[in-house]
Amino acid sequence: PGPSSVTTWSFEPPQPTVAVICGSGLGLLADGATGKQTFRYQDIPNFPVSTVMGHEGCLVFGTIEDTSCVFMQGHFHLYEGYSLCQVTLPVRIFKLMGVESVLVTNASGGLCPDFKVGDIMIIKDHINLPGFAGQHPLCGPNDERFGIRFPCMSDAYSKDLRRLALDVGSELGCGDFMREGVYCMVSGPNFETIAEARMLQILGCDSVGMSMVPEVTVAKHCGLRVLGLSLITNKVSLDYSREEKVNHEEVLQISKMRAEVLQKLVTMLISRCQQQNINTN
Ligand SMILES: O=P(O)(O)O[C@@H]1C[C@H](O)[C@@H](CO)O1
Ligand code: HPA
């Protein structure tokens, strides 16, 4: 940082145990925390910066009840030109800070015919499509300080946290629009062709998006508990006769519409987690 921002760095954040990664238009998730301290990504040495609309590019430290949290208001994507090592750097920083659980959120397009725009999908599993093509954050020499060479991914998403998310969601009256499903990551930046969308549906994907999987993979690799929540911002076109065309503005509009509900859900989840002392998979 330059001389004018030196004072910013005199702040010593309390050691966070929960990290929340906010997807497109979801920076508001940090609003439930108190005693917030905000740092711009551009002021953090070697930290990537956000280039996508709806990603504020700030790291926010704060507290929810007695839980110390860190929020990423905006995350990074392969299509921005970042390597997956850069995309996932914050997760490893969180691990080094003492974070134990990561709550990853994003926006995605619904493929499951039952899904509606505005549904919140609790991720039970994922398909790492870029990973199939060698775009994988764990490629390269394995750093044993963070995890083993061949990590198991069959239980990437914590069962306890998924159950708790469902419980908290129905308590908040969100039961009608909470789902569970399989998320597929594509690299983007274009939205899917109809043939691609049909292929993904046949493969068993309930929703498709352009993020999250690298962060989840690195989090699981280094032993963090993971919860993934994906907001269904649009229905993916599976039919050549469909007139509507998806765009990023629509994605942001739906995120804005659901951000407050998601913020309540995330805040309550974090306080319940502590009350129930959830610490197993
Ligand atoms: O950062 P997320 O994955 O929430 O953002 C989605 C995927 C693209 O970045 C963008 C497309 O509208 O929204
Ligand atoms: O339909 C989509 N496809 C890919 N990524 C997305 N992010 C939001 N909606 C979509």
Tell me the per-residue pLDDT of 213-259, one tens digit each, with 9 for 90 and over: 999 999 999 999 999 999 999 999 999 998 889 999 999 999 999 99
What domain count does the chain have?
Answer: 1
Torsion of CA 122, 125, 131, 132, to 10 degrees: -130
Give Cβ neighbours of residue 241 (< 8 Å, ≥ 6 apart): none
Q: Which domain holds residue 216?
A: 18-276
Pair of tokens at residue 41: 């990504």
**10 falls within a domain:** no
**Considering the entire predicted model, what is its pTM?**
0.93
**55 falls within a domain:** yes
Residue 211 Cα to ligand 1 midpoint, Å, equals 7
Q: Give catalytic residues, as residue numbers.
A: 24, 55, 77, 79-80, 107, 210-211, 234, 248
**281 falls within a domain:** no
Residue 133 Cα to ligand 1 midpoint, Å, equals 21
Question: What are the Cα distances from residue 163, in Å, to 9, 134, 214?
Answer: 38, 33, 23
Which residue, by CA, sits nearest to atom 6 of ligand 1? 107
**11 falls within a domain:** no
Pair of tokens at residue 127: 């398909």
**9 falls within a domain:** no
pLDDT band at 279 (very low <50, low <70, confident <90, very high): low
